[in-house]
Structure 1
Amino acid sequence: MDPNEIAIMIEQAIEGASAEVRTDGQGHYEAIVVSALFDGKRSVQRHRMVYGALGSRVGREIHALAVKTFTPEEWQSAAS
């Protein structure tokens, strides 16, 4: 599956999200997702939101997905 397609699916499902997805070409993906909707949510809740955006594709077309989630403020601090 194309990483850009995955990013678009995440961005469409999580309002205001920005997603960057990379792949090793073997079905393993890494997603970095930034969204204000993550504010106040634990890591598990954030990851569920991302996995929910991708539905049954996880475990099928998307063999494995590593997820890193940030609020805009967290992302700004991480990028500094």
Structure 2
Amino acid sequence: MTIKAIIEQKLLSAFSPTFLDVVNESHQHNVPPGSESHFKVIIVAKDFEGERLIKRHRAVNAILAQELSDNIHALALHTYTEKEWRDYYADNTPLSPNCLGGGK
């Protein structure tokens, strides 16, 4: 199973999101072809209602702790409530920051 598939499976199970997009952005970085080291996750879930951004990110990081320690060099998180997503981002997905180099 690919790292991307593992991320998707774990986040779907943990949060039952209304929207989930896991993007392997490794090809945009200085890593070998076919790498799975840099990801962007856009997730919209009811679980994020009333939670501060840091708590949302910590929740996702906790679910992906094994992957973060073993395989993932960079993880850009975009966590939204359903209202935030609908009001601000439904038509315009956010971009990840540029990588400063390195590989895992």
TM-score range, shorter chain: 0.7 to 0.9
Structure 1 counterpart of 2:80: 70
Matches within 5 A, 1:44-63: 44-63=54-73
Q: Which residue of 2 aligns with 1:24?
A: 25
Cα offset, 1:33, TM superposition: 0.8
* Overall identity of the aligned pairs, in %: 30
1: CA distance between counterparts of 2:20 and 2:67? 17
Q: When the two structures are superposed, what TM-score results if normalisation uses the length of structure 2?
A: 0.67
For residues 52 and 62 of structure 1, the distance between their equivalents in structure 2, rounded to whole angstroms, comes to: 13
Structure with bigger strand share is: 1
Number of matched residues?
Answer: 79
How does the TM-score come out when normalised to structure 1?
0.85
- Of 47-56 and 1-10, deviating more is 1-10
Residue aligned with 2:43, SS: strand
- In the alignment, the residues of structure 1 paired with residue 40 and residue 67 of structure 2 have an alpha-carbon distance, to the nearest angstrom, of 14
Q: Which runs of 4+ in 1 moved over 2 A?
A: none
Q: 1:41 pairs with 45, 51, 63, which one?
A: 51
Amino acid corresponding to residue 21 of structure 1 in structure 2: V
Which consecutive unaligned segments of at least 5 residues does structure 1 have?
none
